[in-house]
Amino acid sequence: MSDYGSNGSGPNAGWRSAGSRADESRGSSYDQPAAFDPWRAPELFQGVLIKRVFAFLIDVVVLAIPVILACVFIAVFGVVTLGLGWTLFWIVSPASVIWALVYYGASLGGPHSATLGMRAMGIELVTWSGEPGYFVLGAVHAFLFWLSVSALSPLVLLVGLFNGRRRLLHDIVLGTVIINSTALAAEPARP
């Protein structure tokens, strides 16, 4: 049984229902630990960065296949129409951007909260509070990733090395966390 919301008492009940013993002994009224705490559940974050790299490479291939097929079709269509069909090449760039946003939005907003590459690597996107992703979050997540890498150079990805949850800059801005979905599924229910 999954620990984030599957017991029927709210979307985050499994992760946020039990307070720590230290808080209880001090009489604190705050009874919710931080969501996806790397100290309490380090297995959720082990190897996440390297898995994200390989997931990204798989997703680039998935995104490139339809674009390459479209380019081949336009090239052949241009030969058949004696060059007139080659004017359709201007559509390839904006269509590629739309395809990428729809792919990320639909896959991160889908039932697995993961792209095909992320599913292959055993990771998933969740919000800071433990809820699954949704379409707009997935599309904006992809947009901010490409924007941050383009504007700030790929060195901005080093941010993930300096925090316990292995979050990148666009994860921090959007309030998302990438976790090991296999570790989440294997984890026993919290008391």
Say what the pLDDT of residue 191 is. 46
Tokens found for residue 105: 């939005």
Say what the pLDDT of residue 125 is. 94
Instruction: Tell me if 115 is assigned to some domain.
Output: yes
Looking at 7-47, list the stretches that DSSP marks H as alpha helix, in order from N- to C-terminal side: 13-16, 21-26
Instruction: Tell me if 12 is assigned to some domain.
Output: no
Instruction: Tell me if 23 is assigned to some domain.
Output: no
Q: How many domains does the chain have?
A: 1
* DSSP 8-state code for residue 10: -
Instruction: Note the pLDDT tens digit of each residue in 26-44.
Output: 444 444 445 677 788 888 8
Instruction: Tell me if 107 is assigned to some domain.
Output: yes
Say what the pLDDT of residue 154 is. 86
Instruction: Tell me if 180 is assigned to some domain.
Output: yes
Instruction: Note the pLDDT tens digit of each residue in 56-113.
Output: 999 999 999 999 999 999 999 999 999 999 999 999 999 999 999 999 999 999 999 9
Bigger pLDDT: 140 vs 45: 140
Q: How many CB atoms lie within 10 A of CB 28?
A: 11
Instruction: Tell me if 124 is assigned to some domain.
Output: yes
Q: What are the DSSP calls for 123-181, one per residue?
A: EEEEETTSPBP-HHHHHHHHHHHHHHHHHH-GGGGGGGGGSTT---HHHHHHTEEEEEH
Say what the pLDDT of residue 105 is. 97
Q: How many CB atoms lie within 10 A of CB 24?
A: 11
Instruction: Tell me if 129 is assigned to some domain.
Output: yes
User: Which domain covers residue 125, as residue numbers?
Assistant: 43-62+91-185
Residues 6+ apart with CB under 8 A from 166: 45, 48, 49, 160, 178
Q: Tell me the pLDDT band of 10, cut-offs 50, 70 and 90.
A: very low
Mean pLDDT over all residues of the chain? 82
Instruction: Tell me if 106 is assigned to some domain.
Output: yes
Nearest to 96 by CA among 128, 73, 67, 74: 67
